């Protein structure tokens, strides 16, 4: 079967790359010889042969099946208890985040320990204590099992992101949306990322595009701190981050440079992004692309375009809606959408 032959000294780098980009075939085990490691692959991708990489045809051994979480829980929970278990969970780096139904709280330690044994990638298990809330959109987490930490490093789109899952908003489910935006960026663009959090958008865009400069603004000091760390961690030079309220930072930037504008503006704060449209338009010009996020019910997406129409009219701008993209489900029938519009 298809495999990738990699010099041992580069094993970790390429392992991360093929896992992050979903080329790895998890049903088979890696092989090693004196000088090389062989990764089982699902498909080929572009490689640079001068780096010593080679696609090969190889016999790999099947991964030993450790059982699913539900199968393994069957050994310690009753049938009735099993029915209540929500086995779906998010994994951010080495941390798994579970949702434990009220009726099963007394069994949460067993569930968490079983999850640790089921998945080797998981080193810590936490549970959600509430929903995202407050200005920082953070979520309280309770420690259940494994290493006692809430900090981890998560990998996606060729970058590493360090964060504390409780102190900072972060969603792995937005990685495709980050990739979508990444593909829209043109060489030389000046990009503004409002509400930048621990900087997933700035870092992914800087690492994978030829944007000239990316500015992120984040009000949560912890988010800003991790953002700065992530810029360093990914050896990025084209990103600047400001800690502050977008409502205050934009006027201050305009005071310093009245002509300041951006080619692209991201507004990833779906709950209240409309309150910041005036700020976005204050640094827009003819041709600026804006990505406006909102939570809306299916069939009511027009409510977002109405907010945009109103703000553009007030600012004296003409605009064109280019696309409305569903980029996640927030609740039953409620979607996270992104309206891509252009100032014309």
Ligand X SMILES: C[S@@+](CC[C@H](N)C(=O)[O-])C[C@H]1O[C@@H](n2cnc3c(N)ncnc32)[C@H](O)[C@@H]1O
Q: Does 291 bind ligand X (CB under 6 A)?
A: no
> Which one of 17, 60, 169, 335 is in contact with ligand X (CB under 6 A)?
169
What is the closest distance, in whole angstroms, from the C-beta atom of residue 287 to ligand X in the complex? 24
The SS3 of residue 45 is: coil
Residue the block writes with tokens 């085990």:
29
**Interface with ligand X, residue 93, by CB under 6 A:** no
Are 314 and 278 in contact by the 8 Å Cβ rule? The answer is yes
Q: Contact at 8 Å (CB) between 243 and 251?
A: no
CB of 241 to ligand X, least distance (A): 11
Cα Rg for the chain, rounded, in angstroms?
Answer: 23
Rounded CA separation 94/145 (Å):
12
Q: Computed from CA positions of residues 56, 57, 59, 60, in that sequence, does the dihedral angle turn out positive or negative?
A: positive
> Which CB sits closer to ligand X, 82 or 282?
282
Q: Which is nearer to ligand X, 271 or 286 (CB)?
A: 271
We find the least distance from the C-beta atom of residue 193 to ligand X, in angstroms, to be 7
Strand 289-297 to strand 264-267: parallel, antiparallel, or no bridges (unpaired)? parallel
261-280 footprint of ligand X as x/- string (CB under 6 A):
-------xx-----------
Nearer to ligand X, 36 or 137 (CB): 137
DSSP assignments along 287-315, one per residue: T-EEEEEEEEETT-THHHHHHHHHHHHHH
Q: Closest CB to ligand X among 134 and 299?
A: 134
- Least distance in angstroms from the C-beta of 293 to ligand X: 8
Give the dihedral sign, CA 20/21/25/27. positive
For residue 205, the minimal CB distance to ligand X (Å) is 11
For residues 197 to 226, the per-residue mask of contacts with ligand X, x marking binding by CB under 6 A and - elsewhere, is: x--xx---------------xxxx--x---
Whether residue 342 contacts residue 288, with contact meaning beta carbons closer than 8 Å, is answered with yes
Dist. CA 317–CA 54, nearest whole Å: 53
State the binding string over 306-335 for ligand X (x if CB under 6 A, else -): ------------------------------
40 or 268: CB nearest ligand X: 268
**Hunting for tokens 């495709």 — which residue is that?**
176
CB 339 to ligand X: min, Å: 16
Query: Which residue from 170, 226, 335, 341 is in contact with ligand X, where contact means CB under 6 A?
Result: 170
Nearer to ligand X, 37 or 198 (CB): 198
Contact 223, 202 (CB under 8 A): no
The 228-247 site mask, x for binding ligand X (CB under 6 A), equals -----------------xxx
Strands lying side by side in the sheet with 190-194 = 239-243, 213-218, 190-194, 264-267, 289-297, 334-343, 319-331
Q: For ligand X, which is the closer residue by CB, 206 or 269? A: 269
Closer of 144 and 290 to ligand X (Cβ): 290
Beta-carbon contacts of 296 under 8 Å, excluding residues fewer than 6 positions away, are 303, 304, 334, 335, 337
Binding mask 120-159 for ligand X (x = CB under 6 A): ---------------xxx----------------------
Sign of CA pseudo-dihedral 267, 273, 274, 279 = negative
Q: Minimum CB separation from ligand X for residue 35, in Å?
A: 41
Least spacing, CB of residue 47 vs ligand X, in Å: 31
- Site residues (CB under 6 A) for ligand X? 135-137, 169-170, 174, 195-197, 200-201, 217-220, 223, 245-247, 268-269
């Amino acid at each position: 079967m298809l495999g990738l032959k990699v010099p041992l000294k580069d094993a970790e780098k390429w392992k991360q790359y093929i896992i992050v980009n979903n080329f790895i075939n998890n049903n088979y085990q890696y092989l090693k010889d004196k000088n090389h490691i062989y990764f089982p692959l699902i498909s080929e991708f572009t490689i640079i042969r001068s780096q010593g990489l080679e696609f090969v045809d190889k016999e790999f051994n099947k991964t030993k099946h450790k059982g699913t979480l539900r199968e393994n829980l069957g050994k310690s929970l009753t049938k009735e208890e099993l029915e209540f278990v929500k086995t779906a969970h998010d994994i951010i780096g080495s941390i798994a985040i579970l949702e434990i139904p009220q009726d099963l709280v007394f069994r949460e330690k067993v569930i968490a320990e079983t999850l640790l044994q089921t998945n080797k990638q998981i080193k810590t298990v936490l549970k959600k204590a509430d929903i995202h809330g407050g200005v920082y959109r953070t979520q309280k987490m309770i420690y259940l099992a494994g290493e006692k930490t809430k900090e981890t490093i998560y990998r996606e789109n060729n970058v590493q992101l360090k964060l504390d899952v409780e102190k900072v908003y972060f969603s792995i489910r937005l990685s495709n949306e980050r990739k979508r935006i990444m593909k829209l960026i043109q060489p030389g663009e000046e990009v503004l990322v409002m509400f930048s959090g621990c900087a997933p958008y700035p870092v992914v865009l800087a690492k994978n595009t030829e944007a000239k400069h990316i500015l992120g603004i984040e009000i949560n000091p912890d988010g800003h701190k991790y953002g700065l760390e992530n810029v360093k961690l990914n050896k990025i030079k084209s990103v600047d981050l400001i800690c502050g309220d977008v409502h205050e930072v934009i006027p201050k930037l305009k005071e310093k440079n009245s002509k300041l504008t951006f080619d692209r503006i991201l507004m990833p704060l779906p709950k209240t992004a409309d309150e910041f449209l005036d700020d976005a338009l204050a640094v827009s010009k003819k041709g600026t692309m804006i990505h406006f996020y909102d939570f809306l019910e299916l069939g009511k997406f027009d409510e977002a375009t109405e907010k945009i129409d109103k703000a553009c009219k007030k600012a004296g701008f003409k605009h064109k809606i280019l696309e409305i993209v569903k980029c996640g489900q927030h609740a039953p029938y409620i979607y996270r959408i992104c309206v891509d519009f252009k100032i014309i």
